[in-house]
Each structure stands twice: as structure tokens, then as C-alpha cells.
């Protein structure tokens, strides 16, 4: 919802059009909610000694209206009883919300690639064992945490807390920051919410625990954007020939968090998708099926842009009538009623997604579609010299292929080398151009272009799994749905 996101939409549309793709367009979806942007975040300790501290604001939390000073207090706010205990004592304070976190020597390299043994293990199907980033969730526990988070946000605003501070999940001065506050106009956003480098956070905790008065000066310039609640996906295509009404899609998400520039999450994936399309145009291929590029927005808030596209073009289930249910994150929401398919559902052959950082492609997950395995093995055979050879019958989640899979469409995410995605760049202030591996992206673009061409040219429609019968919350936790309670 930021001006930068809208600029990215328009730039990618123009770029794809300049390469000769047709029907380059922005397709609105929504409502997404209010936008948010920030331009300054400065935190200094002014007593007992002067020191600059590394911290960034959570998205959708307000600024400070100029430099503000406040005393630091550390307290536990994890239940309604905790709120009652401190009521009336926090006005004008800067509240430390987390326990100090141990910092230990790294137990694995900061940068890594799959070994052959690891790829072999990944290729072995294990029932109930999923691929990267999929994890089970206890819905009731998550619901309690979300609902308490809303009460906590209201409480902190009513108590006139100056700011809250949490410890980053990463070490080495990395600040991993996502969302907080609320995108909904009229809802309380709470006070300024900061995430601080863990080493600096731990220093504040040690001082507070010794009884040493600590005062910080905080200045955050942030603003909410309420003029347009809609968002947009960027789309463009290479038209097909004799089967142009059928579609092969390539996608990645264009939105990113604000700690860095989103270079590995997920400008890298967008670059690969766009370059694959450029390669096919440069080769002047004439695919039988139309090849459509999609660059999604709202992925970081719960795959929202891709979900909206799937619902509009392919089908879905009606939302629950309960308004409380509709307020939940989409990955926790139970959709009531049967799956309704649209005519476009039959015309999509396959969707290929790129969103696991900057690493080269080593293979692909079949998303538990065993009929896809021999097809992918054949497509990968000419690419073995590029290091892409593994087919895994496991599923993987948490990115934009999931809404397609949820309505029974063939949708796939590639296996990529980890690089330093989980250790340094994912949602951090180091997610910048310097962490991008150029040669890896070149390799990935070639692999994706090859897959898109094969899918567009094959005689048969790509094999599908049986349609899902039951409705339940999808196992697709969005990154900002796993933050501290103040993040809701």
C-alpha cells in the first residue's frame, strides 16, 4: 500500500511491455486496507550514557511526531492479569516487551548450498513431512494470541505509552521486522512499535535489571495512506498459438518488508520470472499455450494478491458469515461452503512460483502430485549440468502457489539453494542488492524459461490432483502472522 509498491507495479508493467509482452497491465484487487510508509527511525540512549541504537519500526504503527524522550521500563504483558497489574503506570514510558535473548556462536555457516546427500534425502518422499517453511499450527492457540494482541494494542494506546521495543530474532545487528498495528482504518494501531538489534536490546535489559535508570530518545517519521484501499498485481503475457485459450503462469511476489529493499524477498524471484519471459521473447518462441507472468502484491500479509486472483479467475469457497471469522488472518480463516469453480479453472495448465531467496534452482516440489514427477524428471534432464536435477514429492508452503493448489490447480515452487536467506536476509535490514547472487539468478531464469516452454508446448493438459473436498484453514502462515502479540 505504499507509494514505493505502486511505483514497482508500474515499473514492472513498463519493463515487460518494452520487451514485447502483450496485455501488460495492472489488475486491481482488494480492499487491501490502508497503506503505510516511513522515512526516518532514530533511537539513541541518552542516559546513563550516550549511544546510538539500531532499531526499526513495525509496519502500520505510528510515528512519534518528532523526537521524544522517555524512561525505559521492562515488564511482561502476556495476559489480561498483566495488563491490570501495570495499569496507570506506563504513560510516557518506553516499554521493553521481550526477555533478553541468548546470543551464541553460529551453529551453521551463514551461507550454504544443498549438498548432494541433502538433495537425495529431499527426493525421498516421507508422508507428513513437508518441504521448506511448512509447519503445523494450533488454530485455537493462534486465535487466542491474535485476540489478546488486539486488546494489548488498545491498552497501550489508552495508557499513552510512548513506544514499545522488542528484540530482533536475528543476531549480529540484524533487525528482522515485519508488521504491527493494523491496516484497517478506524482500528487502534497502538503506539510506535520498534524492533531492536538483539545485542542493543540485551544491553537495555541488563541496565534495567540492575536498577539503572535508562532514558531513550526516539524519532520515527511514519504515515498512513488512506486515499486508496486497493492494491494491484502486475500481469503480462506471451500469447499462445493453437491453444492460446489455455494458460501457463509464472509468478513471484513484488511486495516486500521495509527493513531493506526486498532484494532477496522477493525482487530476486521477480527478476527471475521477468528474465525468463524476456528470454522466451528474445528467442521469438511461439508457444501453443499463452504464457502469463504475474507479479503479486500483498504476499507478506497472507498471499493476498494471489488469493484474490485465484478467486476472481479460477474459483474458491465463500467466506464464513461470522464477522469475527472474517477478521482473522486468511491462513486461519475457515471458508464455509463448497468449492465453486469458474471456467478459467479448466484452462490453467500449470503455475510455477519463485520465492525462496536468491539461490539457484536445484529441482522442484511436486506438491504431492506424483503424476508430475516423471514429467519434471524429463524436463530437468537437459538441465543437470546447471545443478537442477531433484524432484521431491513433498509439499512446501507459505508462498503464492498455495492459493492455486488449494482449489485443485497444478501449482509448484522450486527447490532453491538456501544461500543466506534464513540466516541474514529474510525480512531483515540486510535484504539488499549486495546479498543477491547474480549467477544463481541467471541459472534460475534459464530453468524457469525451460519449464514454461515445456508446459506451454506439451500435448496434454498438466496432470492434476483430485479436487479438495473439505474446507479447513490452509497451512500457509504469512510471515507477519508469527510476530509478537503487538503485531496484530
What is the number of other CB atoms lying within 10 angstroms of the CB of residue 161? 22
Q: Which three cell numbers stand for residue 269?
A: 524471484
Q: What span, in angstroms and rounded, lies between the C-alpha atoms of 17 and 235?
A: 10
Distance from C-alpha of 382 to C-alpha of 313, rounded to nearest angstrom: 34
Per-residue pLDDT band at 332 (split at 50, 70, 90): confident
Contact 455, 248 (CB under 8 A): yes
Write out the E strands in 226-297.
231-238, 243-253, 289-296
Query: Residue 485: its pLDDT value, please?
Result: 34
Share of the chain above pLDDT 70, in %: 92
Cell numbers describing residue 346 = 479448466
Q: Report residue 139's pLDDT band, with 50, 70 and 90 as the boundaries.
A: confident
Measured distance CA(112)–CA(3) in Å, rounded: 35
Q: Please count the other Cβ atoms lying within 10 Å of the Cβ belonging to residue 7.
A: 10
Q: Is 106 exposed, middle or buried (0-12, 13-18, 19+ CB in 10 A)?
A: exposed
Res 333 pLDDT > 80: no
What are 435-463's pLDDT values in tens digits?
999 999 999 999 999 999 999 999 999 99
Give per-residue pLDDT as tens, 70-101: 999 999 999 999 999 999 999 999 999 999 99
Instruction: Evaluate if residue 11 carries a pLDDT over 70.
Output: yes
Predicted confidence band of residue 330 (pLDDT cuts 50, 70, 90) = low
> Which set of grid coordinates corresponds to residue 477?
502462515
Cα–Cα distance, 485 to 98 (Å, whole number) = 11
Residue 396 in this model has a pLDDT that exceeds 60: yes
Strands of the sheet containing 35-47, edge to edge, are 51-53, 35-47, 215-225, 68-74, 94-96, 163-167, 192-196, 55-57
Q: Are 306 and 254 in contact (CB under 8 A)?
A: no
Q: Which three cell numbers stand for residue 329?
A: 488472518
What is the separation of C-alpha 79 from the centre of its chain, rounded to a whole number of angstroms? 28
Average pLDDT over residues 468-474: 61
Of the candidates 271, 251, 292, 255, the one whose C-alpha atom is nearest the C-alpha of residue 404 is 251
**pLDDT greater than 80 at residue 232:** yes
* pLDDT higher than 60, residue 414: yes
The pLDDT of residue 128 is: 64
Tell me what the mean pLDDT of segment 327-344 comes to: 80
For the cut 80, the answer to whether the pLDDT of residue 255 exceeds it is: yes
State pLDDT tens for residues 22-51.
999 999 999 999 999 999 999 999 999 999
E-strand ranges in 168-326 read 192-196, 215-225, 231-238, 243-253, 289-296, 315-316
Q: Chain-centre distance of CA 381, in angstroms?
A: 31
Predicted confidence (pLDDT) per residue in 257-299, tens digit: 999 999 999 999 999 999 999 999 999 999 999 999 999 999 9
Distance in angstroms between the alpha carbons of the first and the last residue of the chain:
17
Question: Which residues have CB under 8 Å from 176's CB, separation 6+?
Answer: 168, 169, 170, 195, 259, 426, 427, 428
Q: In this structure, what are the phi and psi dihedrals at residue 422, rounded to the nearest 5 degrees?
A: -80, -25
Average pLDDT value for residue range 220-233: 96
C-alpha to C-alpha distance for 295 and 273, rounded to whole angstroms = 8
Q: What is the mean pLDDT of the chain?
A: 92
Give DSSP secondary structure letters for 363-391: EEE-SS-GGGHHHHHHHHGGGGGGT--EE
Amino acid at each position: 500500500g505504499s507509494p514505493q509498491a505502486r511505483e514497482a507495479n508500474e515499473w514492472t508493467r513498463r519493463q515487460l511491455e518494452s520487451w514485447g509482452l502483450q496485455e501488460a497491465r495492472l489488475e486491481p484487487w482488494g480492499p487491501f486496507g490502508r497503506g503505510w510508509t516511513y522515512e526516518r527511525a532514530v533511537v539513541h540512549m541518552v542516559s546513563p550514557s550516550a549511544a546510538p541504537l539500531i532499531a526499526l519500526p513495525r509496519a502500520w504503527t505510528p510515528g512519534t511526531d518528532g523526537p521524544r524522550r522517555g524512561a525505559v521500563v521492562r515488564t511482561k504483558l502476556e495476559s489480561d492479569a498483566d495488563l491490570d497489574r501495570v495499569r496507570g503506570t506506563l504513560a510516557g514510558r518506553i516499554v521493553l516487551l521481550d526477555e533478553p535473548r541468548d546470543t551464541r556462536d553460529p551453529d551453521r555457516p551463514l551461507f550454504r548450498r544443498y549438498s548432494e546427500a541433502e538433495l537425495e534425502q529431499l527426493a525421498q518422499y516421507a508422508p507428513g513431512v513437508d518441504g521448506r517453511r511448512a509447519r503445523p499450527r494450533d488454530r485455537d492457540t493462534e486465535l487466542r494470541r491474535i485476540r489478546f494482541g488486539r486488546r494489548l494494542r488498545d491498552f497501550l494506546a489508552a495508557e499513552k505509552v510512548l513506544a514499545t521495543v522488542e528484540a530482533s530474532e536475528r543476531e549480529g545487528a540484524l533487525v528482522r521486522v515485519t508488521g504491527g498495528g493494523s491496516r484497517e482504518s478506524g482500528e487502534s494501531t497502538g503506539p510506535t512499535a520498534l524492533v531492536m538489534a538483539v545485542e542493543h536490546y540485551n544491553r537495555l535489559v541488563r541496565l534495567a535489571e540492575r536498577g539503572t535508570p535508562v532514558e531513550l530518545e526516539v524519532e520515527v517519521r511514519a504515515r498512513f495512506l488512506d486515499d486508496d484501499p486497493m492494491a494491484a498485481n502486475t500481469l503480462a503475457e506471451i500469447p499462445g498459438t493453437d491453444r492460446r485459450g489455455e494458460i501457463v503462469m509464472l509468478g513471484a511476489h513484488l511486495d516486500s518488508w521495509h527493513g531493506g529493499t526486498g532484494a532477496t524477498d522477493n525482487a530476486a524471484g521477480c527478476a527471475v520470472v521477468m528474465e525468463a519471459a524476456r528470454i522466451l521473447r528474445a528467442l521469438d518462441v511461439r508457444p501453443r499455450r499463452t504464457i502469463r507472468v504475474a507479479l503479486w502484491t500483498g504476499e507478506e500479509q497472507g498471499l493476498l494478491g494471489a488469493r484474490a486472483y485465484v478467486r476472481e479467475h479460477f474459483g474458491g469457497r465463500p467466506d464464513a458469515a461470522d464477522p469475527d471469522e472474517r477478521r482473522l488472518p486468511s491462513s486461519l480463516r475457515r471458508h464455509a461452503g463448497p468449492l465453486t469453480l469458474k471456467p478459467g479453472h479448466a484452462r490453467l495448465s500449470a503455475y510455477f512460483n519463485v520465492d525462496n531467496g536468491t539461490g539457484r534452482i536445484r529441482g522442484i516440489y511436486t506438491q504431492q502430485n506424483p503424476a508430475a514427477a516423471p514429467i519434471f524428471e524429463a524436463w530437468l534432464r537437459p538441465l543437470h549440468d546447471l545443478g537442477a536435477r531433484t524432484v521431491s514429492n513433498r509439499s512446501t508452503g507459505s508462498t503464492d502457489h498455495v492459493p492455486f493448489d488449494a482449489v485443485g490447480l497444478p501449482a509448484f515452487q522450486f527447490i532453491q539453494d538456501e544461500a543466506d536467506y534464513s540466516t541474514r536476509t529474510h525480512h531483515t535490514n540486510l535484504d539488499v542488492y549486495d546479498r543477491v547472487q547474480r549467477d544463481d539468478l541467471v541459472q534460475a531464469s534459464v530453468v524457469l524459461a525451460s519449464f514454461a516452454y515445456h508446459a506451454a508446448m506439451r500435448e496434454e493438459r498438466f496432470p492434476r490432483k483430485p479436487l479438495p473436498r473439505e474446507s479447513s484453514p490452509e497451512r500457509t502462515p504469512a510471515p507477519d502472522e508469527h510476530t509478537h502479540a503487538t503485531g496484530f
